[in-house]
Amino acid sequence: MQPAVGTAKKMTGMLMGAETIDQYGYSLIFVLPDVSVHNLGMSESLISAGRPIKVGFNVNVRIPDDALTDGFALAIFPLYRGSITTPEILKMIVIE
């Protein structure tokens, strides 16, 4: 785990996108209008799970050992850390 360091910035109308994949392995950007943390020295961004939960998404945070139980092979999804399912259950977004 790396700390997010530097001067905090307050920005209005901010959208934060997290690069990830869906249950079929297709790349996508999961965009959230919320507070987030980004470190230019790292590829990861931290986004709040609260906003998707509030609007009906199912957020399932897991550990890699749970991947196969959840239907995700680690050979295909080596960075598996859970999933986010859309309210209509049309798409499952993999948390990496």
pTM of the model: 0.67
Which pLDDT value is given to residue 68?
Answer: 92
DSSP code at position 89: S
Domain ranges of the chain: 16-94
Q: How far is CA 78 from the centre of its chain?
A: 15
pLDDT digit string (tens) for 43-58?
Answer: 666 677 788 888 888 8
Cβ count near 21 (within 10 Å): 19
Give 58's strand partners: 85
Cβ count near 15 (within 10 Å): 11
Distance CA 84, CA 59 (A): 5
